[in-house]
Amino acid sequence: MSDESPNTLDTSRDLTLRVGGFEGPFDLLLHLCRTNEIDLTRLPVRTITDQYLAHLEAMEFRDLEAAGAYLVMAATLIYLKSKLLVPPDETQEEELEEDGLTLRLELEARLREYARVKALGEWLTQREAEQSLVWGRPGSTLPPPEEVPLEDLSVHLLERMLKRLIEEQTRQRPREVEPNPPSVVERMTMILSVLRDTWSLLFSSLTSGDRRRSEIVVSLLAVLELVRLGRIKTQQTELFGEIVIERQTTIPNGETARADAN
Amino acid sequence: MGRLPVPTPTDVVEALLFASDVPLEAERIREVLDLGDVGEARALVDELRARYDASSQGLQIVEVGGGYRMVTRPDVAPWLVRLARARTRARLSRPALEALAIVAYKQPVSRPEIDAVRGVNSDAVIENLLERRLVRITGRKEAPGRPYLFETTREFLVAFGLRDVADLPKVEGELIVPELAAVAEHGQAETQQDPGAGGADVTTGG
Amino acid sequence: MGRLPVPTPTDVVEALLFASDVPLEAERIREVLDLGDVGEARALVDELRARYDASSQGLQIVEVGGGYRMVTRPDVAPWLVRLARARTRARLSRPALEALAIVAYKQPVSRPEIDAVRGVNSDAVIENLLERRLVRITGRKEAPGRPYLFETTREFLVAFGLRDVADLPKVEGELIVPELAAVAEHGQAETQQDPGAGGADVTTGG
């Protein structure tokens, strides 16, 4: 790949026939790598960035959120490209300064992970097709659960339960059921912790599943505070569009690894 | 593993009867197998039936409701009941009993109130009690979110050998159901005759 | 008509497998038949399986989702498709399969983690997987925001014909796809003539 001429822009134009067929920025990136037979452990930043951007131009997006994810990747690539040291002469591999190197390593790692997921997905597709040729019984012919009599029921069990509940109540104050909305500091910690695993996230993902106004307000305050502290960057490509949150790439010395998932 | 030969028409009928959830008419079999007439279809079923009678005491082919069905033989019924019993947990879990006790003694009571007493989310256990028909939805509480109200059922009385909820043992002290924010009324909430929430099989979803 | 002899244990197992809509564990069979140990249960299933392999090209016994199931053989699929035009099942979309793949090999895994691997928001697809009961919530991650953790279900194993999650290809380093040992064993289903979107029966019963 190193002796590949970096000027592959025009060939990449031909690839746009699959526009819209990608599942996300990683899918597109992987496609570009596969088409160019690029080793996923040595990503040629310049080539891949140019091709990615060329593709992006030709794509049409259904919604802003989808576009946002692609744009974040574009920003990352452009950033990477800007970190290329001395303009490489044709014979040499590109070199990145330290920041960029860390980022590229991470990008490569995630790309490889995505490649594995995609392969597994394809394997599952095949299994699904095979299993679609097999039928089981349309339903159980066993007596339904509600017709199976319960064992060992007695009112004393209920009595004992109630006594225990009453005892508990007299011993302690009423318990909180709903947790209070998280504090701004908590939310800030959460955002930073997510950004340790990934370099960007969508504002909507901070509040998704919970549309309570207080949640949204707390999240927004947390984001604003983190921006003020210079810990994150945000982008909003359009009025009322999705806000993309990215971490500031001033990584404290050499902390590259993704926090372990568990 | 050697490749099996192409399935015979009898094998196909076997699979059709197995996979069908309704009795299968001879005409339908004829159609699916592209047979000349219904007689051929019947002949295939008879052949299959003979095979099952000869080799299996577990399953049989019967003619019912204008069609054919594959069913278990009566002789194996006792084991099927044992399986059904083994599969459904025949006991209520402790959380389920706890929730049931609250409903029994404080009915009608809403899910948020049960949650408040127990200090944990009770969705799953209530779901379970509804499935078991030990509790049912009796209306909605006039409180924010209009939560469903639950009460015990007749099956509950039968299962616990009670004539009436008044037969529940008296317990010293009083279980306090924490006040929900802005509950419209104190004590017994008015049970709305909500047409949608009439039946016991309305599940809470989630 | 002469009275049939008492059903043999193999016949009982046959009926149990037929009547059960979820995979039947060897342990369950042991329990229901009062057998000494699980090995005996497995031996009975093997005997039954041999009988089916010898006499029926319509049905087979497979090991899936931690238990045994009686299912049709792939060879009769074309006729079943003709029978059940209506009972077709929508295939999973590519994004859904991708998210499912992530859950399958990183379980338990949270939504932000799934998003991170895919590089896009996965809310909708996870919703879809939950609805189909291919994944379920298994708890919350002890991390800020306490996001839900997802894992694959037994339905997942059944739908994809896997005995357990260990049947999945290994994904350390590069993806190692096993020589589809399980598939070979479960009746080699070469996806010959694709009979449309034929529906694997993964109905949840009830």
Residue A64 burial by Cβ neighbours in a 10 Å radius (0-12, 13-18, 19+): middle
Q: Single out the residue in B23, B56, B72 at which a domain terminates.
A: B72
Taking the CA of residue B54 and the nearest CA in chain A, the distance in Å comes to 23
Tell whether B89 is covered by a domain. Answer: yes
Closest CA to C160 of B15, A120, A125: A125
Q: Could you tell me if residue C182 is inside a domain?
A: yes
Shared-domain flag, residues C93 and C121: yes
Which chain B residues contact residue A177 at CB under 8 A?
A: 112, 115-116, 119-121
Tell me how many degrees the CA angle B130-B136-B140 measures, rounded to the nearest 5.
Answer: 120
CB C37 within 8 A of CB C30: yes
Strand partners, A143: none
The helix-helix angle for A98-131 and C111-118 (nearest 10°) equals: 100
Amino acid at C72: T
Question: What pLDDT, in 10s, does the model give residues B103-153?
Answer: 999 989 999 899 888 888 888 888 888 888 889 988 888 887 788 899 999
The pLDDT profile of chain C, 206 residues, written as one tens digit per residue, is: 445 567 899 999 999 999 988 899 999 999 999 999 999 999 999 999 999 998 888 999 999 988 999 999 999 998 998 887 545 567 888 899 999 999 998 889 999 889 888 888 888 899 999 988 899 988 888 877 788 899 999 889 988 989 888 888 877 665 554 433 333 333 333 333 333 333 333 333 33
Residue C75, pLDDT score:
92
pLDDT digits (tens, 9 = 90+) for A65-100: 778 888 888 988 988 888 887 665 666 667 777 778
The whole-angstrom separation of Cα C29 and Cα B59 is 17
The partner residue sitting opposite A117, judged by closest CB among C62, C117, C194, is C117
Give the burial string for A164-175 (b: 16+ CB within 10 Å, else e): ebbeebeeeeee
Most C CBs within 10 Å, among B56, B71, B72, to test the C interface? B56
Residue A261 has pLDDT above 60, yes or no: no
- Please give the torsion angle defined by the CA atoms of residues B199, B200, B204 and B206, in that order, rounded to the nearest 10 degrees: -130
**Total domains in the fold of chain C:** 2
CA dist B22 → A51, A125, B67 (Å): 57, 31, 8
* Residue C182 to residue C163: CA distance in whole angstroms: 8
Q: A145 burial class (0-12, 13-18, 19+ CB within 10 angstroms)?
A: middle
Which residues of chain B neighbour A165 with C-beta distances below 8 Å?
A: 98, 101-102, 117-118, 175
DSSP states of C100-144: HHHHHHH-SEEHHHHHHHHTS--HHHHHHHHHTTSEEEEEE-SST
Domain shared by C121 and C93, yes or no: yes
pLDDT for residue B34 is more than 90: yes
B touches which chains (3+ CB pairs under 8 A)? A, C
Strand partners, B151: B136
pLDDT at B13: 96
Cis peptide bond prior to B108, omega within 30° of 0:
yes
- Restricting to C residues 41-60, those with a Cβ less than 8 Å away from any Cβ of A are none
- Percent above pLDDT 70 for chain A: 68
Q: Which of B14, B15, B79 sits opposite C16 (nearest CB)?
A: B79
User: Which strands form B135-140's sheet, in the order they lie side by side?
Assistant: B109-110, B148-152, B135-140
Run of H or E residues at A101: helix A98-131
Residues of A in contact with B162 (CB under 8 A): 155
Q: Are residues C51 and C98 in the same domain?
A: no
Query: Is the CB of residue B119 less than 8 Å away from at least one CB of chain A?
Result: yes
C105 and C121 in a single domain? The answer is yes
Contact B1 C185 (CB under 8 A): yes
Residue C187 is classified by DSSP as -
- C106 assigned to some structural domain: yes
**Quick one: which H or E segment has residue C152?**
strand C148-152
The per-residue pLDDT for B48 is 95
Q: Looking at the partner chain, which of C102, C161, C203 has a beta carbon nearest the beta carbon of A138?
A: C203
Same structural domain, C51 and C107? no
Question: Across the interface, which of A136, A150, A165 has its CB nearest the CB of B175?
Answer: A165
Residue B10: predicted pLDDT:
94
Residues of C in contact with B73 (CB under 8 A): 4, 7, 11, 15
> Tens digit of pLDDT for each residue in A146-197?
555 565 677 777 888 888 888 888 776 554 444 555 567 777 877 887 777 6
The ipTM, to two decimals, is: 0.60
First-last CA distance in chain A: 37
Within a domain: B14: yes
Shared domain check, B101 and B63: no
Which alpha helices (DSSP H) does B107-202 contain, by range?
A: 111-118, 123-131, 154-160
In degrees and rounded to multiples of 5, residue B94 shows phi and psi of -60, -45
Residue B1 inside a domain? The answer is no
Amino acid sitting at position A37: E
* Domain range enclosing C39: 9-72
| B196 close to B202: Cβ distance less than 8 angstroms | yes
Contact assessment for residue C134 and residue C156, using Cβ atoms and an 8 Å cutoff: yes
A209 part of contact set with chain B, CB < 8 Å: no
Please report the pLDDT score of residue B180 as a whole number. Answer: 65
Q: A134 touching B, CB under 8 A?
A: no
Query: What type of residue is C5?
Result: P
The pLDDT, as a whole number, for residue B25 is 92
For position C95, which CATH number holds? 1.10.10.10
A166 part of contact set with chain B, CB < 8 Å: yes
Of A15-19, A93-97, B167-171, which one has max mean pLDDT? B167-171
Q: Do C74 and A73 touch (CB under 8 A)?
A: no
Yes or no: say if B128 and B94 are a contact pair by the CB < 8 Å rule. no
A86-111 burial string, b = 16+ CB within 10 Å, else e? eebeeeeebebeeebebbbebbbebb
Contact criterion met (CB below 8 Å) for A66 and A244: no
- The answer to whether residues C53 and C134 belong to one domain is no
The candidate with the shortest Cα–Cα distance to B48, out of B58, B61, B37, is: B61
Q: Buried (b) or exposed (e) across C156-190, using 16+ Cβ within 10 A?
A: bbbbbbbbeeebbbebeeebeeeebebbeebbebe
A241–C contact, CB cutoff 8 A: no
Q: What is the mean pLDDT of residues B151-176?
A: 85
Q: CA nearest B18 in A: which residue?
A: A137
Residues C65 and C105 in one domain: no
Closest CA to A119 of A56, A202, A27, A48: A27
Chain B contacts of C184, Cβ < 8 Å?
1
What value does the CA radius of gyration of chain A take, rounded to a whole number of Å? 26
Residue B146 lies in a domain: yes
What residue type is assigned to position C110 of the chain?
S
Tens of pLDDT, residues B71-85: 999 899 889 888 887
Q: What is the pLDDT of residue A170?
A: 79
Q: Which residues of C touch B28 (CB under 8 A)?
A: 83
Q: Which of B72, B92, B109 is the last residue of a domain?
A: B72
B84 touches chain A (CB under 8 A): yes
Inspect the interface and report whether the beta carbons of C56 and B20 lie closer than 8 Å. no
- The residue type of A238 is E
Chain C residue numbers with beta carbons less than 8 Å from the beta carbon of B90 are none
Which pLDDT score is estimated for A159?
85
- Most A CBs within 10 A among B59, B87, B88, B135, hence the mutation to make, goes to B88
Q: Is residue C119 located within the same domain as residue C50? A: no
Nearest by CB to residue B133, choosing from A135, A136, A146, is A146
Domain edge (last residue) among C72, C91, C120: C72
- For A95-138, write each residue's pLDDT tens digit: 777 778 888 888 888 898 898 888 898 899 988 888 888 888 87
Q: Which amino acid is it at B21?
A: D
The amino acid occupying position C152 is T
Q: Are residues B121 and B40 in the same domain?
A: no
pLDDT of residue A251: 44
- Confidence class of residue A212 from pLDDT cuts 50, 70 and 90? low
Phi and psi angles of residue A202, each rounded to the nearest 5 degrees, phi first: -95, 140
DSSP, residue by residue, B28-52 = HHHHHHT-SSHHHHHHHHHHHHHHH
Cα B16 from chain centre: 26
Question: Is C4 among the domain residues?
Answer: no
Q: Residue C39's CB: how many other CB atoms inside 10 A? A: 11
What would the two tokens of residue C77 be? 């699929």
- What's residue C38's pLDDT? 95
Question: Phi then psi for A66, rounded to 5 degrees?
Answer: -60, -45
Q: Do C19 and C92 fall within a single domain?
A: no
User: What integer pLDDT is reported at residue B90 of this predicted model?
Assistant: 57
Q: Which string of DSSP letters, residue by residue, matches C1-49?
A: -PPPPPPPHHHHHHHHHHH-SSPBPHHHHHHHHT-S-HHHHHHHHHHHH
Examine the domain organization and report whether C64 and C86 are in the same domain.
no
- Looking at per-residue pLDDT, the higher value among C16 and A226 belongs to C16
Contact between C191 and A129 using a beta-carbon 8 Å cutoff: yes
* Structure confidence at residue B204 (pLDDT): 36
- Chain C residues with CB under 8 Å of a chain B CB are 4-8, 10-16, 18-20, 24, 28, 31-33, 51, 55-59, 70, 72-73, 75-76, 79-80, 82-84, 184-185, 188, 201
Domain annotation covers residue C156: yes
| A146–chain B Cβ distance below 8 A for any pair | yes
- From CA C53, how far away is CA C88, in angstroms rounded? 27
